[in-house]
Structure 1
Amino acid sequence: MTVNENDGDTTFADLGLRSELLDVLSALGYEEPTPIQGEAIPPLVEGRDLLGQAATGTGKTAAFALPVLQRMPPPGDGGGPVALILVPTRELAVQVSEAFHRYGRTLGTRVLPIYGGAPIVRQLQALKRGVDIVVATPGRALDHIGRGTLDLRDLRTVVLDEADEMLDMGFADDIEEILAATPEERQTVLFSATLPPRIDGIARRHLRDPVRIEMGHAAAEGREATPLVEQTAYLVARSHKPAALGRLLDIEAPTAAIIFCRTREEVDQLTEAMNGRGYRAEALHGGMEQEQRDRVMARLRAGTADLLVATDVAARGLDIEQLTHVVNYNVPSAPEAYVHRIGRVGRAGREGVALTLVEPREHRMLKSIERVTKQRISVERLPTVADLRARRMELTRAALEECLLQDDLEPFRVVVESLADEFDLMEVALAAVKLAHESSGGALDEEEIPEISPRTVDKRGGQRDGRPDGQRYGRGPAGGMARLFFNVGRSAGIRPQDLVGAIAGESRLSGRDIGAIEIAERFSLVEVPDSAADEVIAALRRATIKGRRPTVRRERETHTRRPR
């Protein structure tokens, strides 16, 4: 059975939840369920097994926590725990436990997180006193099962949360062993951001006639115009990536950001570089002790750090409330990793930004991610020094406006009045703005980051070999193709997708009919089928691209690039 997202105005009361849970949800300010909650809670309350595809931040913790609490026996009934929640990381175990405490606070529910890196004695003592719900990482859960301290005989529900993450971390055998130790007549719930074949294998072996829910997959296609996570990529040469990252962070000014790197060494080097640029950056990777990790997360949540530079493994399971940006310092090697990374923002209805730095050789990986996620990643040019200066000036203006609206400026009147006797008031204001601008870093000298373009770019944004300005385009059009000249280029903000969209929108050609695209500073060249070239020229006479009506004609054989 497959369920898609519900568009109705469902309330929590419509889901059949007990009054104690409804009161808690109301007190927490939750007015209506998220789509995953609206679809998952009813069958889970009925005791059905469930296989759910849902990204981080869609509300899936409440989607399984509320039904588990709904079906809890009265306090004092039974012996061992009635629910076991398996999660990939210590951080997620703590977060899920806190959610159970929050939702079940009036029910007297006893919840225990168990994970590695924490004193096992306290966990043993709590298990001996008795608990109702255990939230565990697979390794520590198996440890307690082997010791005989985690009794699963009374278990009613098993939840595998972020199942694909657990498999990626090598917990497949542990999960199989844990499930084998649970009662056959149990409810099994599996949530995963992606559904690779290994997840389907676990579902076939351990779930009985499950309800299947897919969120953010087919339904996401209808929301592509306004995604919660704005996804953008930038073509950058490897040697310029640290400078490019700093430029983007200066422009974006994130409240808090995670920057994903491939290796521990890269994390350490980039953290040092970002701190050198004046950011408050913290490193997080597998080479750090748990105590160090906890201190880093505490600083980030307290706002004393604004950048977290991390590896994928170290950042799994993190939930940072104030996070606004995710940066892929490298293109992830697997689309699933990209999904998990950008799932850190755009959570619970909030908007977020995902930025990816792409080396030319990584372009194919970016296209693979687009195919799997069925979402377009816009490829943009890096901001220039002029863009950065304009942005800093904008921030200075915003800071001054806020000061004018909120601050008590009276103590400074004597300074202005004394200067006004000697200088024009406008000059006094200009000097004050200059000081404010420079004190905020506005006078920082920046070097231009060389653009990878001009390049030969295919219609999907891919880069091929470029030629310096002043050289003739030596390569002719492909067989059966004609090359059209457009008098608009990079200086007008033209991108390959703009040209493809104009041609496909105004003529009978589709995007796949269009060949190579070359974008220079003041013009562009586009290959189209020779038989359709004149039709395209005629169709584009009244069209506009980026607000401009271009001149379109067949390319002259002797066309050369003009010097800048």
Structure 2
Amino acid sequence: MESEAKEPTGVTRGQNAVHVLPLDWSALPRVLGAIVDRIDVARAEPQLLVVTTDAESAASAASAIVGMVGERGVRVLAATASPRASRLLRSTPPHVVTGAPAELATLLQSSALKPGSVRSVVLAWLDTILESPEAQPLENLFAELPKEGARVVLASAMSPAYETLIERYARRARRESEPAGEPGAALSAEYVAAPAAGRASALRRLLDVLDLPAAVLYARDVGIRDEAARVARTLGYPTDAARVAGSAADAAGNDPLVLLDLPATREEMRALAGGSGRRIYAIVQPSQVSSLRSLLGGGTVSPIALMDAAERARGKDAALRASLRDVLTSNDVRREVLAIEPLLAEFDGVEIAAAALRLLDQHRPVRPAAAAAQTVPMTALFVNLGERDGVRAQELVAAVTSSAGIPGSQVGKVEVRDTHSIVEVPASMAELVAGKLTGSVVRGRRAQARVDQPREARGPRSGPPRGERGDRGDRGDRGDRGGRGDRPARSGARPGGPPRGGRDAGPKRPYGRGDDQRPPRAAAPPRHRRDDS
């Protein structure tokens, strides 16, 4: 116990500290170990307050602290809902309370949380707290808390605004940052956002979507590594195909790397990545995305869209409805209607249609995917992503199958060109696939898809064709206009109309334009000069 209190990352009584490190709840034991060790179990009152971004972060912080205290008897409360937290604070007061600023402020206002017993306050993580709408009650919260306790601030990045806030809430705090190390090349990764409680489910779905023949599953926490090993074993991966690693040495190789924990430093991340070209996937909480980007050194960070089985089933059902709609609108089904009309006296029309679909599924012959693809008319889709966006053909196929819920065997030829791509899909569901694909994210870019049409099949331009002035109305036969000498003089009257000017202008003046007989213009009156004398 005494040796742990002297760790450089610990905080002694009444001392403020700032730790700059990536958002990772598994880092709490080495940062807050000394504070948690000083909790007096005999005192049934809140002694440590951990301020988090939201309810999910509060649950993650509470879970990390529960793992720290073990069997010591320290009670931990995640204030994810103020009514439940208020009841537990009054009935069985915990020693540690975690929660967002709004929830904690509500507990203070209702007097369920007594600020006088709080000896240490932790802000985890400051940058994510300030970026959320939950940060508004932060100032009121700190105004109620005792100022003599220890203040610990965790942040994944620093800025002048953060420094000002830290000086206000944790005056004269000592700084402790992870070593930056030598600058290296920026890395790229794809990630899945999932809560800590859903990490195992997210890993299973990720392995289903990517279908990786081999992978390295990295986690610093032993419990997370055991959980990952169980998921891989459940999915049928051999031990050597899904290796579980807790260090860079164990993760050596070129197999795709799946991060279940964030590394502590950029150096550790570069050691895990090894040589260039290794694919990196990460399962992170939404609030950890900025930390992941920082650890990668500013490289590309793009999300992976995972679909549940229910969503895929809904996509298949939508494709089926689209096919039925196409048959009903473009084919004559009167003979089929006459065949099932007697059944309408016994069953509802929807039930008859469902039974027909069941019969179709039961009697549909099983054909190879290639043969089936040859008999189905295909339509080309134009997608706004190409080689310049780093998109590959297999990624477009995965995006189509995951967003529209159709099997990959129904996707035809895929051409990835410089600025766009052409993807062939069954004609009966082309519009459906285009609508589902539009808005999905591939390689960090939002896709836009539409049915591609050849130039000769496109409709006419709206408006007059180029080079034509259009119909200007019936202007009549202008006839032989003759030479200019044949035209009537301007001074004469127009044929068939009044004199020029549209009114009776009277006799023509005896002088013409520029004639010397024109009367002189009246002289302007003399300007009188002001006598300044």
| TM-score normalised according to structure 1 size | 0.39
| TM-score normalised according to structure 2 size | 0.42
